[in-house]
Amino acid sequence: MVDVDIKGFFDNINHEIMMELLQKHTDQKWVLLYVEHWLKAGVAHEDGRVGINERDTPQGGVISPLHANIYLHHCFDVWMDPICPHNAFERYADDLVIYASSRMEAELLLGKLRERMMKFKLELHPEKLYHRRSSQPLEQTALKLNPKIRGWINYFSKYNRYKVLNVFMYLNTLIKKWIRNTYKLRSISRVVNKYNEMVKASPEMFYHWKLGITY
């Protein structure tokens, strides 16, 4: 599993690229003009100076989440479908998680993704690869994933519940594979029994388990 961290995403959104992408969604000149003024609005400092804003969209700004989603939709979402059709992925704002079947596949995917991000003037943080045969305890994996899981549920439950449900069902499948590899279980029934024991013993380990998504 690849957990992607974009280096200073909100601080590095390229204004020229952003405006080109917006024109794919609207031809209303007043909308484009308003957004351009918003992007280039100066930053007032405590000493009275006003800095020129040549890149970024202010994190916490009213329309910054919209800018982020449009930017990454074209940079990442529409690119993943044809390039990596067999790799499930999920994105919440600038948090990206991609599922890979092996470490080699994950590393190849990361290489392609780095090149893609560079075309949009973005950079990935190094060493952000997590892999299904990791030796770390499952509890540590849950701690890393739960904030993202919570965010995905809060966002996608309003728009596409079935899509996010499929992602968590796939995540549960990966957990079962982790159980099989960790406990050296060959029988599917034993893997399922061990998984059910974990869910019963620690029903709040993963955030989606608390909501009953355990199948």
Q: Is the pLDDT of residue 14 over 70?
A: yes
- Residue spans per domain, the chain: 2-120, 138-211
* CA atoms of 51 and 47, how far apart (whole Å): 11
Greater confidence (176 vs 40) lies with 176
Nearest to 68 by CA among 47, 93, 48: 93
What six digits make up the tokens of 12? 């590095």
Continuous H helices in the chain: 15-22, 29-40, 64-72, 78-83, 103-119, 138-156, 161-182, 188-201, 207-210
The string of pLDDT tens digits covering residues 97-128 is: 887 777 788 888 889 999 999 999 999 877 55
Answer whether 39's CB lies under 8 Å from 57's CB.
yes
> What's the CA dihedral at 209, 210, 211, 212 to 10 degrees?
50
pLDDT digits (tens, 9 = 90+) for 45-89: 677 776 666 666 765 567 888 888 999 999 999 999 898 888 878
User: How far is it, in rounded angstroms, from Cα 120 to Cα 189?
Assistant: 47
